[in-house]
């Protein structure tokens, strides 16, 4: 009987150790990794910008913008903010958006395009919400009207 109890106790401790290690490994995964890495980030950034530019409600401020460079900078920024290996080489958000007179509706329209693109890229709700939480404070530097 004591051997059975000891064996059961050992199995329980082994299972608990495995669960603990799995939880720790998940906690050590960066948002960058949970988003899918640079290739996935580049894909959802590309789709977000394309949707935003084509939308009459959000495209106005992109008329004279180098979209290739813009996409590159956004990928860098998201990569860095999500603890990936990239370093953002662009200007501060306030400077980038100065004089564009971006309205709240335009900002939220782009956020919706981003949500759509994240969904198409297969990004889960958890990482999607984490990214949006990181990006949300930028609103004060982007919306000027």
Torsion of CA 33, 34, 36, 40, to 10 degrees: -120
Q: What is the pLDDT along the chain (145 residues), one digit of tens a residue?
A: 555 655 554 555 555 555 554 445 456 899 999 999 999 999 999 999 999 999 999 999 898 899 999 999 999 999 999 999 999 999 999 999 999 999 999 999 999 999 999 999 999 999 999 999 999 999 999 998 8
Four-way CATH pick for 31-142: 3.40.190.10, 1.10.490.10, 1.10.3720.10, 3.90.1150.10: 1.10.490.10
What is the distance between the alpha carbons of residues 90 and 81, in angstroms, rounded to a whole number?
A: 13
pTM above 0.85, yes or no: no
> What is the Cα 94 distance to its own chain's centre?
20
Question: What are the φ/ψ torsions at residue 97 (nearest 5 degrees)?
Answer: -100, 0
What is the distance between the alpha carbons of residues 111 and 52, in angstroms, rounded to a whole number?
A: 9
What is the distance between the alpha carbons of residues 122 and 8, in angstroms, rounded to a whole number?
A: 41
- Per-residue pLDDT of 47-83, as tens digits, reads 999 999 999 999 998 988 999 999 999 999 999 999 9
Cα–Cα nearest to 136, from 113, 111, 118, 112 = 111
Tell me how far apart the terminal alpha carbons of the chain are, to the nearest angstrom. 76
Tokens at residue 53, please? 């530019």
């Amino acid at each position: 009987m004591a051997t059975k109890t000891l064996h059961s106790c050992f199995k329980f401790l082994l299972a608990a150790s495995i669960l603990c290690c799995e939880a720790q490994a998940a906690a050590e995964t960066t948002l960058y990794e949970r988003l899918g890495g640079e290739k996935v980030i580049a894909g959802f950034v590309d789709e977000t910008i394309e949707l935003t530019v084509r939308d009459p409600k959000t495209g106005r401020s992109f008329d004279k913008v180098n979209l290739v460079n813009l996409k590159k900078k956004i990928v860098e920024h998201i990569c860095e903010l999500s603890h990936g290996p990239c370093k953002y080489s662009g200007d501060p958000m306030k400077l980038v958006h100065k004089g564009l007179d971006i309205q709240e509706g335009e900002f939220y329209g782009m956020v919706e395009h981003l949500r759509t693109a994240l969904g198409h890229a297969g990004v889960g709700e958890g990482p999607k919400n984490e990214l949006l939480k990181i990006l949300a404070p930028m609103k004060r530097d982007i919306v000027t009207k």
